A and B are shown apart, each in its own frame.
Chain A
């Protein structure tokens, strides 16, 4: 456990203009245009005049979502974060309840969670430096 795996970082949410380009990018990556498949969230914090919160999976060292999962559908990765195995998932939503930052997104059609896979594609489409992708360190 521990060490540095790939990880998304919210550098400065105050720079966010709320364009949601990252959300569309994530959905595109999963082959579904639109927003049903997005694993990143941008919403205003009580009106746009106050700015935005940017919800990304922090790839926790000891992920509470995995601890809450009763079926081992979510398992911790070696270096932070979790891996999702859909065939084990029973759709109980306990992972969603356990993630208090709201980074376990939900697919209403499949009744399964949607988990960030730490690819960094969304960060390529952030025009204003709000999110950054930290690449993994090389082994050894």
Chain B
């Protein structure tokens, strides 16, 4: 039943060739998504390579529920990360997942490097290598998307991925934008695209998919759909989107503010999801095959300064993380400044979290005299000063001097060179997300395979256990258990927002209805196996917690769970190394 899914499309950018390979056992044993991509990464990525070399594979993978069930709407991208130098994994929705599956593929593997800028047009089983020389160096990723859109067929049945100038210039936290408002945001997939002279990729298809048992399929489909449109958790995402989290996180003192010098932002009301919805919400959008529609787009109108009654209206997608990284983290509430900065980051194709955290470190570093206007090219970075931040973002991409070259490599690289590691808020080489919730968040970030907040949701564990004593070992156990289960969800591939709907029973029923004969025990086993394979890859590429650097700042700013103890974190990491890494 997985004939179409087990088709892997291999593309060689150097030779401009492609072929298909059937790997049924790979998908049977690892479902799809993360599971399949992890195995392909360990096969296709030679040990120890430079992430910007042609050998680094870009792997996109979808799963057995993609195209068949609501909220199974994500694509997994895997690559060696130029940001951390280790396992790179990023998830994205939009129309990417359904388009890949309905083009007749379960995975796409891209290797090599083109001698001229190109974009790939994949329509069903055909691959076209299109000259993208005229798109290279364009100021805005929006424009690139528009041109590809007009140049290619099948509106509504395709996904258009593209990079901005940040990816071309090798900013290690450059992302890939799809459908204008969704991203493979974290860990630098955009820089890997750029290193291959790959400006974009459009993929389309409208094939049909197999169903093993039509009655069972429709029953479980309707059960999932009904939950998706009626459950309170989903309603939250539909109504205000992730930005609903601003106020509760601030209330509990977990909203990193001014480079985490504080964890409460006194002006939080002004940058809350409620406020943005009231004042700016212009449209809501959904990923393909997701009835929730969590994507919130602000309509931001501003006048031109040189001519009266001349306006432009920008449509800017906002979420909790960009708000966190560019408002409280940068101490700003000016909406015009925020939207213009976020719009610039989108146009250049950067990860908003890493950008915001890098700017926050640079602000503090300049205030402390570690860097001067010589380094910043005359900019005075100060909390809430968005004009300077916007200019700084352009300079990170242009890299006119060493300072910006280092900052284009993330906050850890910059702090290693210029000092201020104690307040460089990166763990495992990846900048922190907006959750100063407690020990579990930071431990989760350090031991998570991607060093991101979604690996194991430590922020959620912190909030679920507020007021409870949870030892370091139990914290690690629960985080690992969560991360192992998430390997199943991201192999299906299901949006993590729907994790409350897709429990083991629902997943099993859904898989059975499309011909995957697995039970709940099998799922657990698959999750553990994928998790292990990820860490095998990470260890092969030199992952070690011994070299971890935890910025002191997190110990000095109290969290909702009290002061975060260094000993507690050390104990947890020691336990993790013994238990999981077998050291």
Contacts and interface: CB of A to CB of B under 8 A. Distances in A.
Interface of A: 17-21, 24, 27-28, 31-38, 41-44, 46-49, 51, 125, 127-128
A129 B217 CA distance: 25
24 contacts: A17-B284, A17-B285, A17-B295, A18-B288, A20-B289, A21-B70, A21-B225, A24-B289, A27-B208, A28-B218, A32-B208, A33-B209, A33-B514, A34-B67, A34-B209, A35-B67, A35-B102, A35-B206, A36-B207, A37-B208, A47-B146, A49-B297, A127-B229, A128-B293
Interface stretch (B55-63, B149-157, B534-542): B149-157
B153 to A, nearest CB: 11
B221 to A, nearest CB: 7
Interface in B189-247: 206-211, 214, 217-218, 221, 225, 229
Interface of B: 67-68, 70, 98, 101-102, 145-146, 149, 155-157, 179-181, 206-211, 214, 217-218, 221, 225, 229, 283-293, 295, 297, 315, 514
* The 8 nearest A-B residue pairs measured at CB: A43-B156, A17-B293, A19-B286, A49-B315, A34-B208, A32-B208, A17-B286, A127-B291
Tell me whether chain A's interface is mostly helix, strand or loop, or mixed: loop
Nearest to A55: B156
Contacts of A51: 283
Contacts of A17: 284-286, 293, 295
Contacts of B218: 28
A27 to B, nearest CB: 7
Nearest to A128: B293
A34 B283 contact: no
Given A19-B293, A48-B180, A35 B157 contact: yes
B156 A20 contact: yes
A20 B211 CA distance: 19
Given A27-B208, A31-B214, A42 B291 contact: no
A44 B207 CA distance: 20
Contact of A33 (B70, B180, B211): B211
Given A34-B67, A41-B156, 5 more contacts: A17-B293, A34-B206, A35-B67, A43-B155, A48-B180
A104 to B, nearest CB: 15
B580 to A, nearest CB: 38
B217 A33 contact: yes
B208 A19 contact: no
A48 B285 contact: yes
Contacts of A19: 286-293
B157, B179, B283 — which one has the most chain A CB atoms within 10 A of its CB? B283
Contacts of A44: 155-156
Contacts of B284: 17
Instruction: Report which residue of B102, B210, B285 has the largest number of chain A beta carbons within 10 angstroms of its beta carbon.
Output: B285
A42 B290 CA distance: 13
Given A34-B206, A44-B155, A20 B285 contact: no
